[in-house]
Every structure is written in structure tokens, then in C-alpha cells.
Structure 1
């Protein structure tokens, strides 16, 4: 479904990602871990289409990833990506309106009725049907993330991109969100890419773990080299020695970056 061939990402002279090569099959759940600034979110944005490739190739179904977001790729950020002046139901319906190629994104007639029915069904799926008339300010953090997930799924995307979506949530709420994401992944047969700073979360949720890290360092020119995928592991086959190696490598990179 997705392939990267010698992928590089640079901002001027700053190299963020280098020599990234990968293949992802439809239906996989990929978790991405690594130190801050190692290019995890940048890679997600390249999949979304908001960041261009500097060199190499990033392919979706054999063709370059489109240079703009599309309904085939939904995304949820750590910061709640909802509209504060709209109710829960209006927020989800707005996602359908913005996917339409017209000037205002407004929905009328049968299109509005269909969007409303679909939005109500999704709110039921994510456990927010009881809050459809409330505004985001009236919701807890976990409820707002459920709303953001409903927005992302309204277009029935094949790919769901999650950029540290649970980092600001309490542990108990995060556990509930883990169950929700796993259920939706199976139910909608999604291909998921999730950035997390929590290695245990990455092991628990993903079918495959990527570690983004630098293999080359120059103290005199810290931006001369970028990160690549140093570990690409099926989650069920990670042993304690490998876990220790990952922890050691990430700690080393964090120290060298400071």
C-alpha cells in the first residue's frame, strides 16, 4: 500500500530524515517512536500530503503521495483539532462539508441529511451520541479526542494518521482510548500510523514498531545528518534484549542532542 524509496526530508541545510526505505501492507498498525525532533511527525505530514518529499520517493498504491490532504487519509493530532464554536454533531458534519470541493463547504438538502445520519452513526461508534448537542469546551480531554477521531473517520479513509493523540490524557482515559482505536482499526480495516513517545504504548497498540533515530552524528554540525528507521520489528517478536537496545539507543541520541 505504501512504499518509501531512499526518502529524504530537508529544510534548507537541516536534514530531518535520510535514507528511509520501507514497505507497508494494507491493514497494518504501525507505531513510530523516537526522540523529539527525529522526524516522526514530519513523516506523518509527508503521508498526509502537507510536507513535500525533498528527494527519493513516497508512494501510495504505486503513485506519489498527493501533495495535499485527501479523504483517503484522516489525521488526529495531540492538540484537539475541533471547532470550539460548533456542537459535537456540527463538528463531525463539518468534516464532510470541508471534503467537498466548493467555496464554503456548506451542505444542503439530501447531502446534509446524509452527512447528519453518518455523523450520528460515528458518534455512536466513538461513544459520544449522548453529547451531540454539547460544545467542545464542555467535554473532557478524552471526549474531545473521541470527537477528533470521529471527524477523521467520517470520510471513510483507508489510512488513519495519529500524531501523539493521547499524550495529554490521564492513564485511565488513555487505556479507554487504546481500546477504542483498536476496535475502530479492526472494524474499519484501517491502515494506521501512530506517533507516540511511550514505548510501551507502541508495543501494546501496534502490529509493527518503527524506531526513528540517527545513525550518524557530528557535534560540530548537528543538523548535517537526519534520522532513519533503525528498528522495524513485528511487535509480537520483540524480546527483552531488543527492548534494552532500543532504550539505550534512544537515550544516547537524546544525550547527544542536548
Structure 2
């Protein structure tokens, strides 16, 4: 049985179709990169996986459980725009990531000391150890995004959802965050879905690359049809497509 099973999912906003006939099966621990033109439903798909939205038709199951009705602790997300707790220090934001797993429980004594040590290790790996006692408002946008990524990864969800998480980072920081994500994923075995417009990044990090596009297109009414998964590339084998919905469809081709 697939760990994440998406079966015949449609999503409409009012009468406007966004996604149609989306089907995909993902094994536990896989890293799925998602690419496609702007407005083709990639972020909508992440919100459906998070259970922030419910599909108009179809279902999404994780680990065989019934379709979720709301977000849970088994799923974490990092949006394109950073989101951290402004009233907590940088170190406390990382500690909060661990507290997610225990229902916002607090740490005391030796357990708190160990938790702080792990937080400092994470901060060192994402290059924020020198600002551990500062508040997010004092950080640059890129530093805040690094903090948001570190916080989400520290919570170690079973499914991690990333929506353009590295877009605000400079090239050097972006590469270090790639390494951090890859190492933590290897340690935890979490399943990752990442939306990106960077094809090199998609193939570098992903085990598979899903291409979202509209197989049906009306030039008189571009919003008439929804998008679906048109290509499923195995990035572990040089990006060779092993599943094609429709060979003559217009797709967002990898370089």
C-alpha cells in the first residue's frame, strides 16, 4: 500500500476548475518535487495534502488513514513567505518545533537542557547560531525563512510540505539549506513534497519530479479546464519519464 495515495482528486473554486483527475501514489520516505507553470494548482495541491482544504471530488489518504478533515501534527508546511513566532527568540522558535510533537508540551530539567542543545545544533546547521537570542523582527527576510525551515524540520512531521521554501535565499545559503534538508530527511525518513520553479533544484533534491499542467486548453477561456499531473519523472535515473499521462500534451519541460 502506498504511504500517500491521491485518488481521482478534483478541486474547484466556485465554478472555476483548478485541478482535475489528479492521481499519484507515493512511498514513505520519497522526496517529490513539483514543477509547472504559474497558476496550475501546485500550491492548491499542497493545501489539499495538508488538509487545509478538502477536495471537491476524490480523496487523499496518508498511511491508509481516512481522509483528514483538518491539518494535523503528522504534516508540516513551510510557505514561500516565512512564518515564525515573533514573540519568541530564534532559539525558542526551534524549541517550539520540538514541542509540536508533544501537543505544545513544555520541557523541564535535563530534558529542557537536551532540547536546547539540539536547538543550538540545528541553528548551527542553518547558520543562525550567532543570533540565537534575538527576535525574528531583527533578522533579514532570508534569515527568517531559514528559521521557518529549521522550525518545521525540527518538528519532524511524517509528511513535510514545502512551497517555494528557498526562493528568498542567496545562492550560498540555498545550497547549505539543501544539504540540511537532505541530511534531516535521511535521518527521519520523512516524506517530502516541494513546489519549486527551479528545475535544477527539483531534480537535485527530488526522487521524483511531478509536472502539473493543463492537458486541455481553450485559448478563448484559459480558466475553462483544470490542471493535472502530466509527467512523472524518476529523478534518480537521470530524469527519465516513467509515467506520462498524455504524450502529445503541452508540458513544462525540464531543461
| TM-score normalised to structure 2 length | 0.83
Residue aligned with 1:250, SS? coil
User: Match of 1:255?
Assistant: none
Distance in structure 2 (CA, Å) of the matches to 1:239 and 1:225: 27
Distance in structure 2 (CA, Å) of the matches to 1:121 and 1:171: 22
5+ residue gaps, structure 1, are 252-258
Matched, 1:179 2:179: yes
User: Match of 2:207?
Assistant: 207
User: Match of 1:156?
Assistant: 156
Residue aligned with 1:249, SS? coil
Residue aligned with 2:54, SS? coil
5+ residue gaps, structure 2, are 242-246
1:239 is displaced (CA, Å) by 5.8
Flag the 1:185–1:218 CA change in 2: closer, same or farther, 3 A.
same
Flag the 1:35–1:210 CA change in 2: closer, same or farther, 3 A.
same
Residue aligned with 2:230, SS? strand
Distance in structure 2 (CA, Å) of the matches to 1:144 and 1:222: 36
Alignment of 1:159-170 (within 5 A): 159-170=159-170
User: Match of 1:61?
Assistant: 63
1:33 is displaced (CA, Å) by 0.3
Q: Deviations over 1:142-171 (max 9, x none)?
A: 432331122112332111111001112222
Distance in structure 1 (CA, Å) of the matches to 2:81 and 2:128: 19
Q: Following superposition, which runs of at least 4 residues in structure 1 exceed 6 angstroms of deviation?
A: none
Alignment of 1:169-248 (within 5 A): 169-235=169-235, 236-238=237-239
Distance in structure 2 (CA, Å) of the matches to 1:220 and 1:90: 52
1:98 is displaced (CA, Å) by 5.8
1:49 counterpart (39, 48, 51): 51
Flag the 1:137–1:203 CA change in 2: closer, same or farther, 3 A.
same
User: Match of 1:76?
Assistant: 78
1:188 is displaced (CA, Å) by 2.0
Deviates more, 1:161-170 or 1:181-190: 181-190
Instruction: Judge conservation of contact 1:142–1:177 (CA < 8 Å) in 2.
Output: no
As a proportion of its length, which structure holds more helix?
1
| TM-score normalised to structure 1 length | 0.83
Flag the 1:32–1:220 CA change in 2: closer, same or farther, 3 A.
same
Alignment of 1:107-126 (within 5 A): 107=106, 109=108, 113=112, 116=116, 118-126=118-126
Matched, 1:88 2:87: no
Residue aligned with 2:8, SS? strand
Q: How many residues of Structure 1 are paired with residues of Structure 2 in the alignment?
A: 243
User: Match of 1:128?
Assistant: 128
Residue aligned with 1:9, SS? strand
Instruction: Judge conservation of contact 1:88–1:136 (CA < 8 Å) in 2.
Output: yes
User: Match of 1:10?
Assistant: 12
How big is the alpha-carbon RMSD for the aligned residues of Structure 1 and Structure 2? 2.7
Q: Deviations over 1:105-131 (max 9, x none)?
A: 573746983754553443344343332
1:95 is displaced (CA, Å) by 3.9
Instruction: Judge conservation of contact 2:230–2:251 (CA < 8 Å) in 1.
Output: no
Distance in structure 1 (CA, Å) of the matches to 2:203 and 2:110: 41
